[in-house]
Amino acid sequence: MKIMVTGGAGFIGSNFIRYMLDKYPDVEIVNFDKLTYAGNLENLSGLESDRRYKFCRGDISNSSDVTAMLANDKFDSVVNFAAESHVDRSIHLGVFEFINTNISGTQVLIDAVIRHNVPRFLQVSTDEVYGSLGPQGKFSERSPVQPNNPYAATKASADFLVRAASKSHGLNAVITRCSNNFGPYQFPEKLIPLMIANATEGKDLPVYGDGLHVRDWIYVADHCSAIDLVLRKAEPGSVYNIGSEYDVPNIEIVKTIIRLLGKSDSLIKYVKDRPGHDRRYAMDSAKIREDLGWKPEHSFEKGMAKTIEWYMNNRGWWENIRSGAYKTYYDNMYGKRLKDVGGLVR
Ligand code: NAD
Ligand code: DAU
């Protein structure tokens, strides 16, 4: 089994690579990543000497980078994690990077996968494509796609392009839509690692609006096991929701972190709300449970305990990110080599 994983230096992609290498002795993985601000090779530390793993720096929206990869190696599948993933950035810093990577990049991959006859393509999508729920109900795979923020709109567009390629060109593609992940290696701009880092340092914990927005939280390893199953077992053209069905208001998450770290609620600061902030996400994941026999292995409590333990034992990892020091590491490690090989590190 040889897999090209795009975006494997990010949070979920790096967890997926570790998951697959642990589970399958004969798997080979090429991690194809642009190393944006969110891509961090420290997420893969320890794998450098694993002969089944290779890193290659490239941009999914650059057709030459992608072609160079697929023309040189024969893959059984491409799993696309690469994305601009942060909602706040898509609202406040501009949407063009999101359009470029999340939409154009996905189409570049689709075209290359078709051209090079890669047997399987998995698009990692999100529950955000469904928009926001009222007080009742859950998202199923049949819920309308109604994105409310620029990030979600680009992910929805990518889903439509994947669907269109499978209908028009016979692309063997599957789409997964997962809820909010948490766990090791999550970039500390997202709610849970931001709160852990700030609380540890005694800094304010910024809660948007009234703190009653609901997200459905899943431990990242359970997302990885679901992707593995969908990749191997799902019918071409199918879409699967993934969620652990633990949907709670943000303020409850923040208070849990405060309690587990032995800090005080006085750190909580209610701040101006995110514009267009989706009120509630909740996933119906009956389809993947019934069709493929998937279920999450981690309760929220177990996943959160492991997560806090990881952030406490790996303080240097998030302190380096928050100080910007991890970028210096890239320049030292890759600056010259990048110039040597015309953009690709092999
Ligand atoms: P992340 O921001 O941590 O990582 C994204 C990775 O993609 C980084 O390594 C980055 O360098 C890379 N990348 C960005 N642009 C690229 C490009 N043009 N070419 C190649 N690589 C590029 O994101 P994440 O949280 O790990 O999310 C991974 C995927 O899962 C995304 O597609 C996201 O939409 C989806 N998703 C995330 C969550 C979540 O809770 N984090 C939930 C559901 C779905
Ligand atoms: O639902 C899946 C999505 O989850 C993924 O598709 C996205 O890539 C991922 O970033 C995540 O999006 P969210 O916007 O839900 O995640 P974030 O961690 O940014 O915010 C979670 C909730 O917490 C949201 O309601 C906003 C709120 N929040 C967030 C931050 C960073 C705060 O109240 N304060 C904060 O400082």
DSSP-derived secondary structure for 139-208 = B-TTS-----SHHHHHHHHHHHHHHHHHHHH---EEEEEE-EEESTT--TTSHHHHHHHHHHTT--EEEE
**In the predicted model, what is the mean pLDDT of residues 133-140?**
97
Characterize the bridge pairing of strands 28-33 and 2-6: parallel
What CATH number is attached to the domain comprising 54?
Answer: 3.40.50.720
Say which ligand is closest to the CA of 191.
2
Catalytic residue among 33, 65, 128, 228: 128
Tell me how many domains the chain contains. Answer: 1
What is the percentage of the chain residues whose pLDDT exceeds 70? 94
Backbone angles phi, psi at 73, to 5 degrees: -130, 150
128 carries an active-site annotation: yes
Give the Å distance between the CA of 48 and the centre of ligand 1. 21
> Does 233 reside within a domain?
yes
> Does 271 reside within a domain?
no
**In the predicted model, what is the mean pLDDT of residues 128-147?**
98
pLDDT number for residue 333? 55
Kindly give the number of the ligand 2 atom that is closest to the alpha carbon of 152: 6
Structure tokens at 235: 């019918």
For residue 181 and ligand 1, the question of a CB distance below 6 A is answered with yes
> Does 50 reside within a domain?
yes
Assess whether pLDDT exceeds 70 at residue 233.
yes
Structure tokens at 280: 């509630």
What is the percentage of the chain residues whose pLDDT exceeds 90? 93
Q: What residues make up the domain containing 57?
A: 2-185+217-247+277-299
Distance CA 341, CA 93 (A): 31
For residue 304 and ligand 1, the question of a CB distance below 6 A is answered with no
